Structure 1
Amino acid sequence: MLHETYQLIDPGVLGQVTGWLSEAEHVCFFGVGASSASAMEAKNRFLRVTPKVECTLDARMQLMRAALMSSRDVAILFSYSGATKETLAIAKAVKETGARTVCISRFSHSPLAELCDCLFLCGGNESALQSGNLSVKPSQLFLMEVLYLSYCCQNYDISLENRAITSATLSEMMD
């Protein structure tokens, strides 16, 4: 599954999205149902190196946040099927604001993929009995890790500085 996901990464899209994230005022991660775990994990990962990331788990709160985005922002939407009703509503709200949109999905011809500016495809198949389980999460998280590392490389000095600050702050709690 991870090898398939790796093979599906378009380096041009990766570079473009990394640039958008670097320039963005806010980066909002969206996902409903099982995909909300991937969205929250992505926010938690990026929060180690940049304060401009956001994620909320409630679908209605996500829709409100989406409506308040601007052309200086980036939305990353997780949906295995690319057809989840709530995620599509969020994507439409984001598009109306002029914010850039990135989709992480299994299907390149899904309604969500059609709405978004860029698409990352994840490998792995989910059967009807597996719907919503953790079988596809590794590929979604792998894509986020690739994007995170690309962001850190492009913003090396500040990422390193912020990573040291957040690590030191957390270490103080452990003592």
Structure 2
Amino acid sequence: MGERAGDAGMRVPATEQGGTLISTIRRRMPYFNPALRRIAEFTVQFPNRVKSMHISDLADNCEVSQSTITRFVKEIGVRSFQDMKIAIATELSQAPAEVSEDGDQARVYEDITESDDHETVIRKIHFRLTDTLNETLMQIDPAVIKAAVDAIESSQLLAFFAMGSSTLAVENGLTRFLRIGKKCLFFKDQGVQQISAVALDPTVTAIAISNSGRTQPVVRALETAHDLGARTICITSFPDSPLVKHADIAIFTPSTSVPLGRPEYHESMVSKIAQIMVVDILYSAFAVRNFSRSITKLQETNEYTKSTRFI
């Protein structure tokens, strides 16, 4: 298949200017090797503990050496372990109260609890969505987007694979690309998805979307597409997931948007916002590259669909 553009996606971006230390660690987490990623995950999950830990305690909890902790500190652009602890403590003290408090309360959406009133719910949802979009912006590599658009442009058909809430991003992609004349294929039925993957060939670009990268039907479909010679793209949050192994081009979204100080670490409900953002970027970059044709097709579809609306 030639050079795997997904490898380009594994390049660690330069240290970001501005932003918080924890958000920087989150953005860079997918690009770390397994040992550094364990430290990053522990730090993001338990910042209240890390800010008071000795370097040997953190090393023991992450099952790494103290020298690996030192390397991690350098990787995130901090001079020393002590400076990292001070930065985390400062960040926690300045974080909005509604998203930094600990607790074991049941939650129905991110950090929404039973005691939250309507105003608090609105404020928390806004914060989570904005934070997710900002982290996605900082993490996306333009070189990987270019490689993905190259693959999309060179293909005769886009075949999408996803399950559950990740299908929201697929439905968005279908609407976007079909409106500008790019042929697309997607079946919600998982059995039919598997069958459709067998029918792919090198004229097709397959796009699989899975936050965890471990959804078995999606992984198997992309593997089949890859084996049959189709160009493969995945949108996921975890570079060590099975899905990435079968992708020529891997686009990584933030691995978590769990609020600071919260112990749980799971697939975020707002991660779908990041997926939709990536799909919109791919669509827009492709449309700009084929601007005249895209405008013509948009005008044609607008003319057709306006008859379906009440005046």
- TM, length-normalised to structure 1: 0.92
Cα pair 2:238 2:255 within 8 Å, conserved: no
Higher relative contact order (CA 8 A, sep 6+): 1
Q: Which moved more, 1:146-155 or 1:46-55?
A: 46-55
Following superposition of structure 1 onto structure 2, how do residues 1-175 of structure 1 map, counting pairs within 5 Å? 1-123=132-254, 125=256, 131=267, 134-174=269-309, 175=311
- Listed one character per residue, the Cα deviations across residues 1-26 of structure 1 (whole Å, up to 9, x for unaligned) are 11111122111111111111112111
Q: Give the Cα separation in 2 of the matches to 1:49 and 1:92.
A: 28
Structure 2 counterpart of 1:3, one-letter code:
N
Percentage of identical aligned residues: 25
Cα pair 1:40 1:57 within 8 Å, conserved: no
Q: Give the Cα separation in 1 of the matches to 2:174 and 2:229.
A: 21
The alpha-carbon distance between structure 1 residues 87 and 126, as it changes in their structure 2 partners (threshold 3 A), is: farther
CA RMSD of aligned residues (A): 1.8
Q: Which moved more, 1:65-74 or 1:50-59?
A: 50-59
Q: CA deviation at 1:130?
A: 6.5
Gap regions ≥5 residues in structure 1? none
Q: How many residues align?
A: 174
The alpha-carbon distance between structure 1 residues 51 and 147, as it changes in their structure 2 partners (threshold 3 A), is: closer
Structure 2 counterpart of 1:29, one-letter code:
F
Gap regions ≥5 residues in structure 2? 1-131, 259-263
Larger radius of gyration: 2
Q: CA deviation at 1:136?
A: 1.0
Q: Give the Cα separation in 1 of the matches to 2:196 and 2:305.
A: 28
- Listed one character per residue, the Cα deviations across residues 15-59 of structure 1 (whole Å, up to 9, x for unaligned) are 111111112111011101221222122112211112411211111
Q: Give the Cα separation in 2 of the matches to 1:126 and 1:93.
A: 31
Q: Give the Cα separation in 2 of the matches to 1:99 and 1:85.
A: 19
Q: Give the Cα separation in 2 of the matches to 1:100 and 1:43.
A: 18
